[in-house]
Amino acid sequence: MSAPKKLYIKTYGCQMNVYDSERMAETLGGQGYVETKSPDDADMILLNTCHIREKAAEKVYSELGRFKGLKADKPDLKIGVAGCVAQAEGEEIMRRQPLVDLVVGPQSYHRLPEMEAKAGQGEKVLDTDFPEEDKFEKLKRRPKAKRGPTAFLTVQEGCDKFCAFCVVPYTRGAEVSRPVDRILTEARDLVERGVREITLLGQNVNAYHGGGPSGGDWSLAQLIWELDKVDGLERIRFTTSHPNDMQDDLIEAHGSCKKLMPYLHLPVQAGSDRILKRMNRSHTAESYLRVIERIRAARPDILISGDFIVGFPEETEEDFQATLDLIEEVKYGTAYSFKYSTRPGTPAAERPQVDVAEADDRLQRLQALLTQQQKEIQDSMVGREVGVLFERAGRKPGQMVGKSDYLHSVHVEDCGREIGDLARVRIVESRTNSLAGELID
């Protein structure tokens, strides 16, 4: 038998890319590839890229440049670009970086084996189609291969919302939901392989409406309740949601489904109705706050997380203040905030831009407020009992690290538990970006 070929995948951007990278690696496993942690001994390098902000795309080009020496030493080395930059700029990548042998968009991953074969014969291959066939059905899984206690599972992909700043509707295409039975099969397989927590993924995951087993579409809440019945699966999460798709049954599930964790990522982007309108968000600050209120009524301890953009075209200081006001009202347990980044081809790219120094200053002020809230909520965990799923050994002997129900990192000394164990823990200390806890017998 010939030695296995080595595949190095580097993943940028969101959790869906993490999931996709895993599926690509398993699929290429069928072509005799095993994964390696270093590009130096790889036979194939794949960069799974993100196009959401300008910097993300630039990183890809600089990373590609760094592989020049490797390719010179090993002419058979194949270099591929996957993901959203591949989708958006595939041809330009081929032109700009002759090192690249293969470009594959997110909807064509199942065609990787054929593409790899062609690249092996010295062809340059590019596939950024939006094919009819279901890529998930064609992407291979490595059955029975053991894996860690947490996993992502894509249930919905693409977006029809067309927020004025966002490339996702162009790079990932229209909203598509996977059928319920395929998701259940995949979830059961993951659980058999050691998974205890599944995060359901979708760009608009709460708009999920996949075909049910006996016809008719199922909502995300229905899917969650079905997953709730899977023995061995202990925790369910989902991300990312849109405020307008928070249906009653989903809110209700947060109150009554024990396996559904008390954490919700619900981006609002901005707090000014004028800006929200220009962003084409189709909700107001007030309607967002009402949604949060309903969720908290169902699950009072839920931790809310958000995304924010500052310096969106034409954002004034007054608009920005409205964002700060909204943050004050919601109190976020964690948040991701970004300076607006012009994305070619999106409606907002054509509009008058906010001064860069001004946007920088707003981002700093926004992040200061969010960091303070995050700290307050983290500190308020001290003394509380939480569930913790252990994911890895800590740096100190006997120490284990896991995630709480609220997705805080928790360290436990002299733990005596294994990776994959779920335990009750009392939080004893709040540190920078993590908590310390003790097992409760």
370 binds ligand 5AD (CB under 6 A): no
Residues 28-57 that bind ligand 5AD (CB under 6 A): 52-53
166 binds ligand 5AD (CB under 6 A): yes
Give the list of residues 6+ apart from residue 297 with CB closer than 8 angstroms, or none. Answer: none
How near is the Cβ of 268 to ligand 5AD at its closest, in Å? Answer: 9
How near is the Cβ of 159 to ligand SF4 at its closest, in Å? Answer: 3
CB neighbourhood size of 342 (10 A): 14
Q: Please give the DSSP secondary-structure letter assigned to residue 346.
A: S
Site map 224..243 versus ligand SF4, x via CB under 6 A: ------------------x-
Q: Which is nearer to ligand SF4, 279 or 303 (CB)?
A: 279
Total residues in contact with ligand SF4, by rule CB under 6 A? 10
* C-alpha–C-alpha distance, residues 121 and 114, integer Å: 11
Give the list of residues 6+ apart from residue 136 with CB closer than 8 angstroms, or none. Answer: 23, 110, 154, 178, 182
52 binds, among ligand SF4, ligand 5AD, none (CB under 5 to 8 A by kind): ligand 5AD
CB neighbourhood size of 420 (10 A): 18
CB 94 within 8 A of CB 102: no
166 binds ligand SF4 (CB under 6 A): yes
Residues 199-238 that bind ligand 5AD (CB under 6 A): none
How near is the Cβ of 171 to ligand 5AD at its closest, in Å? Answer: 11
Q: Which is nearer to ligand SF4, 136 or 312 (CB)?
A: 312
Q: Which is nearer to ligand 5AD, 166 or 435 (CB)?
A: 166
162 binds, among ligand 5AD, ligand SF4, none (CB under 5 to 8 A by kind): ligand SF4
- Contact segment (CB under 6 A) with ligand SF4 among 12-20, 161-169, 317-325, 385-393 equals 161-169
338 binds ligand 5AD (CB under 6 A): yes
Using CB under 6 A, pick the residue from 136, 218, 288, 340 that binds ligand 5AD: 340
161 binds, among ligand SF4, ligand 5AD, none (CB under 5 to 8 A by kind): ligand SF4
Q: How far is CA 102 from CA 76, 91, 111, 227, 247, in A?
A: 13, 11, 11, 37, 41
Residue among 91, 198, 206, 183 at smallest CA distance from 149: 198
Q: Please give the DSSP secondary-structure letter assigned to residue 332.
A: -
Would you mind telling me the total number of residues written for the chain in this entry? 441
343 binds, among ligand SF4, ligand 5AD, none (CB under 5 to 8 A by kind): ligand 5AD
165 binds ligand 5AD (CB under 6 A): yes
Q: What sign for the dihedral angle of Cα 397, 148, 49, 433?
A: negative
163 binds ligand SF4 (CB under 6 A): yes
- Contact segment (CB under 6 A) with ligand 5AD among 282-290, 322-330, 334-342, 368-376 equals 334-342
Q: How far is CA 147 from CA 23, 150, 170, 195, in A?
A: 13, 8, 33, 7
Total residues in contact with ligand 5AD, by rule CB under 6 A? 12
Tell me the β-bridge partners of 102.
80, 125
Using CB under 6 A, pick the residue from 45, 64, 88, 168 that binds ligand SF4: 168
3-state secondary structure of 324: helix
162 binds ligand SF4 (CB under 6 A): yes
First to last CA, the chain: 51
**215-252 b/e (C-beta count within 10 Å ≥ 16 → b):** eeebbbbbbbbbbeebeebbbbbbbbbbbbbbeeebbe
How near is the Cβ of 308 to ligand 5AD at its closest, in Å? Answer: 6
CA–CA–CA angle 256, 182, 86 (5° rounding): 105
Q: Which positions lie near ligand SF4, rule CB under 6 A?
A: 159, 161-163, 166, 168-169, 203-204, 242
Which residues form the interface with ligand 5AD (CB under 6 A)? Answer: 52-53, 165-166, 267, 269, 307, 309, 338, 340-341, 343
